[in-house]
Amino acid sequence: MIAGQISGAIAERERESKGTLVSLFCGGLSVETRLSKYFDKIICNDKQEYLIALYKAVQEGWIPPDSISEEEYKYIKNNKDEDKALTAFVGFGCSFGGKWFGGYGRHGTKGKHCAERSMCLESKSALLRDIDILKDATFLCEDYRDVVLPDGCVVYCDPPYKNTMSAYGLKTSFDSEEFWEWARENSVEHHIYISELNAPDDFVPIWEKEKIRFINNNKTGNKDIFKVTEKLFVYESNI
């Protein structure tokens, strides 16, 4: 998995760190869970308030349901603020492709021939496993620019792609140019790693991997397939 390779590339460079890891766009926690064993303290931030509400609730002992009916899915979609933790679990974990309320997900990764392994049950199992690994992590819901970075910390960033709306249900587009300027300024005092497809010329890739991406084609109803190269960048002064 790419998350394992990204975390491995960071761990290789930060073997002597054992300080604080700050993830500014923590999303599904796939990199953070893998890196946690290398650091004494973990701070996970994401601006998606429902997602952070879910992580905090599970940290405090909330257990997600084993199943969600399509009727329950629709109700929660239309009443998001009744229970933000449950909304996040259903909006991501019970949705097709893991996209924020992207359609009711009927089956898990085993497909239609193993319907008893529901998407809901798979998501519950994965979430409980991840939060158990990150049981001592601090979860924040802030703009990345407002997160206070401890002295000399390692920072992992997986920002939204340039000129796109966030896949996590946020309403505003991400300002990539402002982000890269922030990364330049903060790379003076911190080790900042950025997952992206492309970066300004003064950022250098220390790892890269080609992967296949599927995009739904609204005109044909099929999935378009194309290759992209995911890269892990650092500012040139940190090479």
- CATH classification at residue 19: 3.40.50.150
Q: Which domain holds residue 35?
A: 1-47+142-239
User: What's the N-to-C CA distance of the chain in angstroms?
Assistant: 25
Give me 52's structure tokens.
Answer: 């952070």
| C-alpha to C-alpha distance for 190 and 47, rounded to whole angstroms | 21
Residues 211 and 101 grouped into a single domain: no
Q: Do residues 202 and 235 make contact, with C-beta atoms less than 8 angstroms apart? A: yes
Residues 148 and 107 grouped into a single domain: no
Residues 26 and 62 grouped into a single domain: no
Q: Do residues 45 and 24 make contact, with C-beta atoms less than 8 angstroms apart? A: yes
Length of the chain counted residue by residue: 239
Residues 37 and 64 grouped into a single domain: no
Map residue 223 onto helix, strand or coil: strand
Give CA angle at 201 (231, 212), nearest 5°: 25
Q: Of 134, 151, 168, at which residue does a domain stop?
A: 134
Query: Tens digits of per-residue pLDDT, 153-189?
Result: 999 999 997 655 554 566 678 999 999 999 999 999 9
Residues 20 and 93 grouped into a single domain: no
Give me 151's structure tokens.
Answer: 């002295």
Given a cut of 70, the residues of the chain with pLDDT beneath it are 108-117, 162-171, 213-223
Give me 216's structure tokens.
Answer: 């739904």
User: In this structure, what are the phi and psi dihedrals at residue 185, rounded to the nearest 5 degrees?
Assistant: -65, -40
Q: Do residues 25 and 155 make contact, with C-beta atoms less than 8 angstroms apart? A: no
Residues 98 and 160 grouped into a single domain: no
Angle formed by the axes of helices 119-133 and 49-59, nearest 10°: 70
Q: Domains in the chain: how many in total?
A: 2
Give me 23's structure tokens.
Answer: 């993830």
Which residues, including other chains, have CB under 8 Å from residue 113's CB and lie 6 or more apart?
Answer: none
pTM of the model: 0.90
Helices (H) and strands (E) in the chain, counts: 7, 7
